[in-house]
Amino acid sequence: MTKTKTTYCYRQTFELHPSGGVYWHEFNMLLIADVHLGKVTHFRKYGSAVPQGAITQNFDKLDQVILYFKPAVICFLGDLFHSYVNQEWNMFSNWIQTVEAKIVLISGNHDVISPVKYEELNIHISDEWSLGSVLLTHHPESREGMFNISGHIHPGVRLKGEGKQSLTVPCFFKQTHQMILPAFGVFTGKHILNPKLEDEVFVITEDEVIQIP
């Protein structure tokens, strides 16, 4: 049973999913950051034998979260593709045909593939996207009067418990004017952040989003 968590910012409703995706109710839009498609193949091409099984898992995960929310729009917040075109691009092109939603890509630092190739697949590409008072970007940004949703950081936190227990887990990192999404991709790392008292942290496990009090 998948357990999501709903949070409100600037009077908008965001439903956080354990996959790392966010569903924005008012706009019927699914937000996903840092999938890093093509990374496994990129490593293999350079002689590092990362298991190929990890490639299909990204697409399976995408399918599952899309099926869960059935969004009208999917917006990727950058680093959709890790490298230059490789075999995984073809898999991506085939996969995109199966998706009914409109797709937008906010380009990130890893997105080096020509915009023309994206346009050919009917993916609209842009540096940022503001919708009302919400600003979608790849790198976290702060802009007067706007709530920013971004990726890039791959946020995670370190948790501590009794009996000298500790864990690091990926999370949604929410501040007053900003929310950073965890990396969606299977073969991606995380960067540990130290929250302040006023920050909200939602960690993700396989099937549950848990807010850390």
Residues in touch with another protein (CB under 8 A): 40-54, 57, 82-83, 86-87, 90, 110, 157-167, 169, 186-189, 194-197, 201, 203, 205-206, 208, 210, 212-213
Q: What end-to-end distance do the CA atoms of the chain give, in Å?
A: 22
Q: Side-chain half-sphere of 167: how many Cα atoms within 13 Å?
A: 10
Question: Are 51 and 41 spatial neighbours (Cβ–Cβ below 8 Å)?
Answer: no
Tell me the closest approach of the beta carbon of residue 38 to another protein, in angstroms: 10
Tell me the closest approach of the beta carbon of residue 4 to another protein, in angstroms: 14
Tell me the closest approach of the beta carbon of residue 16 to another protein, in angstroms: 15
Closest to another protein by CB, 43 or 95: 43
Q: Do β-strands 102-106 and 73-76 pair in parallel, antiparallel, or remain unpaired? A: parallel
Cα–Cα distance for residue pair 32/62, rounded to 1 Å: 9
Cα–Cα distance for residue pair 31/182, rounded to 1 Å: 11
Tell me the closest approach of the beta carbon of residue 125 to another protein, in angstroms: 20
Closest to another protein by CB, 29 or 204: 204
Closest to another protein by CB, 62 or 134: 62
Q: Which residue bears the tokens 């199966």?
A: 98
